[in-house]
Amino acid sequence: MRKYLAKVKTALPDVPSDDVEEYVKTGKLVVGGIELVEGDLQVQRYIELPAGHETQYTTHTDNEVVVRLDTKACPELNVDIRMARAGGGKPSPEAGEERRPPGD
Protein backbone atom coordinates (compact mmCIF):
# COMPACT_ATOMS: atom_id res chain seq x y z
CA MET A 1 0.00 0.00 0.00
CA ARG A 2 2.80 2.39 0.85
CA LYS A 3 4.10 2.57 -2.72
CA TYR A 4 0.61 3.57 -3.97
CA LEU A 5 -0.07 6.16 -1.25
CA ALA A 6 0.58 9.26 -3.39
CA LYS A 7 -1.62 7.99 -6.23
CA VAL A 8 -4.48 7.07 -3.86
CA LYS A 9 -4.19 10.36 -1.95
CA THR A 10 -4.42 12.32 -5.21
CA ALA A 11 -7.47 10.37 -6.43
CA LEU A 12 -9.46 10.31 -3.14
CA PRO A 13 -11.12 13.74 -3.53
CA ASP A 14 -12.75 12.52 -6.77
CA VAL A 15 -14.34 9.43 -5.18
CA PRO A 16 -18.15 9.82 -5.15
CA SER A 17 -20.03 9.52 -1.84
CA ASP A 18 -21.92 6.49 -3.18
CA ASP A 19 -18.61 4.66 -3.67
CA VAL A 20 -17.54 5.52 -0.11
CA GLU A 21 -20.84 4.18 1.25
CA GLU A 22 -20.29 0.99 -0.75
CA TYR A 23 -16.77 0.70 0.75
CA VAL A 24 -18.25 0.94 4.24
CA LYS A 25 -20.67 -1.89 3.42
CA THR A 26 -18.38 -4.21 1.43
CA GLY A 27 -14.86 -3.22 2.46
CA LYS A 28 -13.76 -2.85 -1.18
CA LEU A 29 -13.04 0.27 -3.25
CA VAL A 30 -10.99 1.10 -6.34
CA VAL A 31 -9.25 4.49 -6.13
CA GLY A 32 -7.01 5.69 -8.94
CA GLY A 33 -6.85 2.15 -10.32
CA ILE A 34 -5.69 0.75 -6.96
CA GLU A 35 -7.97 -1.75 -5.20
CA LEU A 36 -8.38 -0.96 -1.52
CA VAL A 37 -9.76 -3.43 1.00
CA GLU A 38 -11.19 -3.12 4.49
CA GLY A 39 -8.70 -1.42 6.80
CA ASP A 40 -6.90 0.50 4.05
CA LEU A 41 -9.10 3.57 4.62
CA GLN A 42 -10.85 5.08 7.59
CA VAL A 43 -14.15 6.74 6.72
CA GLN A 44 -15.22 9.63 8.95
CA ARG A 45 -18.48 11.52 8.91
CA TYR A 46 -18.46 15.30 9.10
CA ILE A 47 -20.73 18.30 8.74
CA GLU A 48 -20.09 21.65 7.13
CA LEU A 49 -20.04 24.46 9.67
CA PRO A 50 -21.97 27.63 8.83
CA ALA A 51 -19.86 30.14 6.89
CA GLY A 52 -18.32 32.71 9.21
CA HIS A 53 -18.99 30.60 12.33
CA GLU A 54 -16.04 28.20 12.12
CA THR A 55 -14.58 29.50 15.39
CA GLN A 56 -17.93 29.38 17.23
CA TYR A 57 -18.49 25.66 16.75
CA THR A 58 -16.46 22.51 17.18
CA THR A 59 -17.37 19.06 15.93
CA HIS A 60 -16.55 15.52 16.94
CA THR A 61 -17.53 12.13 15.56
CA ASP A 62 -17.38 8.52 16.63
CA ASN A 63 -18.04 7.49 13.00
CA GLU A 64 -21.72 6.88 13.82
CA VAL A 65 -22.85 10.31 15.03
CA VAL A 66 -21.47 13.82 14.46
CA VAL A 67 -21.84 16.28 17.33
CA ARG A 68 -21.70 20.04 16.75
CA LEU A 69 -20.98 22.01 19.93
CA ASP A 70 -21.46 25.76 20.24
CA THR A 71 -18.34 26.95 22.05
CA LYS A 72 -19.28 30.63 22.20
CA ALA A 73 -18.94 31.95 25.75
CA CYS A 74 -22.19 32.87 27.45
CA PRO A 75 -21.67 36.11 29.46
CA GLU A 76 -24.72 35.46 31.68
CA LEU A 77 -23.33 32.10 32.76
CA ASN A 78 -19.89 33.56 33.46
CA VAL A 79 -21.46 36.17 35.77
CA ASP A 80 -23.35 33.42 37.67
CA ILE A 81 -20.13 31.44 38.12
CA ARG A 82 -18.21 34.47 39.40
CA MET A 83 -21.01 35.32 41.85
CA ALA A 84 -21.11 31.76 43.15
CA ARG A 85 -17.34 31.70 43.64
CA ALA A 86 -17.39 35.07 45.39
CA GLY A 87 -20.04 33.70 47.76
CA GLY A 88 -17.94 30.62 48.53
CA GLY A 89 -19.97 28.33 46.28
CA LYS A 90 -18.35 25.21 44.90
CA PRO A 91 -19.38 23.12 41.90
CA SER A 92 -21.55 20.19 42.80
CA PRO A 93 -22.60 17.29 40.54
CA GLU A 94 -25.84 17.06 42.53
CA ALA A 95 -26.92 20.59 41.53
CA GLY A 96 -29.34 19.46 38.82
CA GLU A 97 -30.00 22.98 37.58
CA GLU A 98 -29.80 23.68 33.86
CA ARG A 99 -29.14 27.17 32.51
CA ARG A 100 -29.75 28.13 28.90
CA PRO A 101 -28.64 31.34 27.20
CA PRO A 102 -31.49 33.71 26.32
CA GLY A 103 -33.07 32.86 22.98
CA ASP A 104 -32.52 29.08 23.12
Question: Which residue from 82, 79, 74, 68 is spatially nearest to 103, judged by alpha carbons?
Answer: 74
Sketch the domain layout of the chain as residue ranges.
2-37, 45-91
- Measured distance CA(71)–CA(60) in Å, rounded: 13
Dihedral sign of CA atoms 90, 91, 94, 100 in order: positive
Give the model confidence (pLDDT) of 60-98 as tens digits: 888 778 888 887 766 666 666 666 777 676 655 544 555
Give the model confidence (pLDDT) of 19-72 as tens digits: 999 998 999 999 999 999 998 888 887 788 888 877 888 888 887 788 888 877
Residue 39 — left, alpha, or beta (φ > 0 → left; ψ -120 to 50 → alpha)?
left
- The terminus-to-terminus CA distance of the chain in angstroms comes to 49
Residue 9, amino acid: K
Q: Which residues on neighbouring strands pair with residue 68, listed in sequence order?
A: 59
